[in-house]
Structure 1
Amino acid sequence: MIRYEMEAADVSAIRFGVSPLSELGLALRALYEPEWFPLQRPWVQRIAGVRSLLDEEMLLALVNDRRWVADFVNPRPSSPLTSLEDELADLGRISRSHLHADLEKVHGSVPRVFHGRHGVVVARLQRALATAWDLCFAPHWVRMHAVMQADIAYRGRIAARAGIGAVLNGLSDAVRYDGRHLDVRLWNPAVRHRPVLGDGLTLVPSIFTARVSTPIDDDLPPTVMYPARGQGAMWSTAVGPDAAAVTDLLGRTRAVLLTELGEPASSTDLALRLGVSTSAVNQHLRVMARAGLLNRARYGRAVLYYRSAAGDALCAQGSRA
């Protein structure tokens, strides 16, 4: 457990933030041990087709079997509008000693994948995180962000009506506030004391936190990552449409493309596979992406397309028919 000790000024300075990089870092735990994150299983299933494109050697080395994640991929957000690009740029300036110290707190040593020239290692880390974002997060981020912003608005209404104490005590069953101390119960039962001392306390809603999380390093600014309301409903899908209507809507060519895109592919790959021109395939793919049936992400010089949740639902309905 960590006990944040707060003066009146610390309580009045509590704020909310959203960190894309932190959310991505927390999501790595669902890749590492999905059984611990049942509400996020639909997301794990949806990205199964792109996992072979991820640098999982690098990404999964950021997590340990206690589901601790290296602090440098859980930065405290500066505002609810923090961008991934800015956070990755900041990560690019991390020192070798800082990188290694955070990894040693997680693993007890520095994993082999982080050995080598510091600049090369950090560049690989940035690429690995950016690719994971493009393939696994970007297609869902608008919806994720909306859930987190809705949570912040909800907590703001509680603060206005019942005070910040009600907000803090309502974050999670693992959080308790007594007017001076904010106790955050973690998996480690040992009690750590961390006076806030004007450093500010930031509350960060997350789709990928089942209980609560805090920085491993107590010297970092106080931050509590808590489960956003609506996690379970986020991945729900509507009842599948009528199969005959789907066929009439898509036509044969687009229906075939939708079937083929259970795995990521480029327009060139699809054109060769189906024996049609790349320009014709591109036209269909762009229309289907605009309609929300496909996700797309840049991978190197190619643009890869793959089915979205809506595309999966349509494809499944067609298969049953």
Structure 2
Amino acid sequence: MIEIAFGTEDVARTRFALSPLWEVVASVRVLKGADEHGLHRAWVRQVRPRLAASGVDLSPLFDLVPVPAHAPWAGYVPGFLCPPPTTPLPSLAVELATVRGTPPALLRTKADVPPARMAALRADPEAELGRLADVIEAYWELALAPYWSRVLTLLEDDIRYRASRLVDGGAQRLFQDLDPQVTWAGGTLHLEHRTARGSRRLDGRGLLLVPSAFVWPRVFSVLNEPWQPSLRYPPRGVGTLWQSRPVRVSDALAGVVGRARAVLLAELSAPASTTDLARRTGLTPGGVSQHLTLLRTAGLVSAHRSGRHVLYARTRAGETLAQAPGAG
């Protein structure tokens, strides 16, 4: 059990943020076997063959993301790999700029990382950190970018809910249902932890709360210098993230964008290629391609290359339109 003592300044400076870079790290843990309950099985089933077909050497990233096994520090993640964000919603590019500029003194970890990987990072930090950032970008485009709109909606919904709890009843109400591993009493946050024990003080820095789609059922904490004290926790409704929904197209949506494009928007609840969409909708591949081009120009879908194929996914605007009242 870790006890985190809050002062008045800490409560005042407690804030929320999202971190695309942390989702990269947490999702790699899932791919390496940390999803024992199968919550992300549907995502893994789509992403794992896509990564294999890409031919990208992911070892600079995967070596740095251990999964709990037998080693005492196997559950830890190197702090320099995913420092807590300094703004509420940084882009992946902004977070990777921080990684590329990591001071050599911070290239250390208690995590179960191959010694050769850490030795290479220390021997040539600029080159190896740049290579790491490039690999993360490639992984993001293949594994997370096509799904980011769906993930982001879940995370932002949780922040809105937590913010309302904070307004309604202060820190006690905020932490009351954050996670079963977290309890609040008498100005102290109690965090269940597998290995760590003792008290921690925030010393006026506040606590950063980062909802994460890929951490369930765990809560990850960052409580050591020089990083912002942080908790990465599962958002509300994470169990529904990959649930498939019946494809329905309303006359109202079809009247706005046309029935064929409305059908394609509805089908893109998960990333798909032109061939997949043609097979599922009965439209010709050429027709699907033309409609997707128009939807992409309008900012309703995005395209992500995966080997020889291009995957299309709804953007946030597309998600909003597809899920609007009357749109199914």
Query: 1:72 deviation in Å?
Result: 2.0
> Mean alpha-carbon deviation: is it higher for 82-91 or for 65-74?
65-74
Q: In structure 2, what is the Cα distance between the partners aligned to 1:216 and 1:8?
A: 18
Residue 207 of structure 2 corresponds to which residue in structure 1?
Answer: 201
Residue 189 of structure 2 corresponds to which residue in structure 1?
Answer: 182
Residue 4 of structure 1 corresponds to which residue in structure 2?
Answer: 4
State TM-score, norm by structure 2: 0.73
Q: In structure 1, what is the Cα distance between the partners aligned to 2:5 and 2:188?
A: 5
Residue 81 of structure 2 corresponds to which residue in structure 1?
Answer: 73
For residues 1-321 of structure 1, the aligned pairs below 5 Å read 1-36=1-36, 38-52=38-52, 53=54, 54-66=56-68, 67-99=75-107, 101-102=108-109, 105-107=110-112, 110-112=115-117, 115=120, 117-188=124-195, 190-210=196-216, 211-215=218-222, 217=224, 219-239=226-246, 258-259=275-276, 285=289, 287-288=291-292, 296-298=303-305, 304-306=309-311
SS of equivalent to 1:214: strand
Q: In structure 2, what is the Cα distance between the partners aligned to 1:121 and 1:73?
A: 12
| Unaligned 5+ runs, structure 1 | 263-279, 310-321
SS of equivalent to 2:97: helix
User: CA distance change for structure 1 residues 178 and 218 in 2, over 3 Å: closer, same or farther?
Assistant: farther
Q: In structure 1, what is the Cα distance between the partners aligned to 2:237 and 2:303?
A: 26
Query: 1:214 deviation in Å?
Result: 0.9
Q: Does the 8 Å contact 2:275/2:285 carry over to 1? A: no
User: CA distance change for structure 1 residues 294 and 13 in 2, over 3 Å: closer, same or farther?
Assistant: closer
Query: 1:78 deviation in Å?
Result: 2.0
Q: Does the 8 Å contact 1:2/1:184 carry over to 2? A: yes
Q: In structure 2, what is the Cα distance between the partners aligned to 1:175 and 1:121?
A: 37
| Unaligned 5+ runs, structure 2 | 69-74, 250-258, 265-271, 315-328
Q: In structure 1, what is the Cα distance between the partners aligned to 2:204 and 2:167?
A: 23
Query: 1:147 deviation in Å?
Result: 0.9
User: Which residue identity is paired with 2:232?
Assistant: M
Q: Does the 8 Å contact 2:25/2:82 carry over to 1? A: yes
Residue 314 of structure 1 corresponds to which residue in structure 2?
Answer: none
Of Structure 1 and Structure 2, the greater helix share is in 1
Residue 271 of structure 1 corresponds to which residue in structure 2?
Answer: none
State TM-score, norm by structure 1: 0.75
Figure out how many residues of one structure are paired with residues of the other and give that number: 278
